[in-house]
Amino acid sequence: MDQFMERAVELSLQNVREGGQPFGAVLVKGGEIIAEGVNELHKVQDVSGHAEMLAIRRAQQELNVDSLAGSIMYASGEPCPMCLSAMYLAGIETAYYCASLEETVQAGLGKSKIIYEDLQKPASERRLSMAQMPLAENQDNPVELWMQRSNKA
């Protein structure tokens, strides 16, 4: 097993021993660990406190960057849709994981599977109902303002 995956698994084992879920993540760039994380759901009431999300946040804050292009994510478990999306948004192009989604579902950690399945449906059939609401007539449009201020118009 790769040294970085070994570290991700070590983090997840330590997290389980401390009462958390079996998820650890290591973010690597240029052959060096730039950030780590474990699921902290047992410590803080924050659904975004996933191992991969925390590793991404820490790396971006430490390096003072938005893009983590060229980084590699090592995760002890297959990333959930939220973490996968964060990896896309951060520019991470490669990720490795150990435990599959199916394995985590069997362990009773199956919310990710439900979300992945739901995202494959048309928006009108998803469990989370969403509807666009137009701006009020007298309200400035934030997107247009951003375009003007960033010379995108």
Model pLDDT, residue 153: 54
The predicted pLDDT at position 152 comes to: 64
- Which pLDDT does position 150 carry in this prediction? 87
Looking at residue 134, the DSSP 8-state letter turns out to be P
Please check whether residue 7 is in contact with residue 34, taking contact to mean a CB–CB distance below 8 angstroms. Answer: no
Query: How far from 149 is each of 13, 69, 89, 146, CA to CA, in Å?
Result: 48, 26, 22, 5
CA 89 – CA 69 distance, rounded (Å): 10
Catalytic residue among 52, 62, 103, 117: 52
CA dihedral 29, 32, 38, 44 (to 10 degrees): -80
Domain boundaries, the chain: 3-151
List the end-to-end C-alpha distance of the chain, in Å, as a whole number.
50
Beta-sheet pairing, 94-99 with 71-77: parallel
Q: What is the pLDDT of residue 28?
A: 98
Among this protein's residues, is 117 annotated catalytic?
A: no
State pTM to two decimals: 0.90
28 — phi, psi (to 5°)?
A: -125, 140
pLDDT one digit per residue (tens) for the chain, 153 residues? 699 999 999 999 999 999 999 999 999 999 999 999 999 988 988 999 999 999 999 999 999 999 999 999 999 999 999 999 999 999 999 999 999 999 999 998 878 899 999 999 999 999 999 999 999 999 999 999 999 998 865
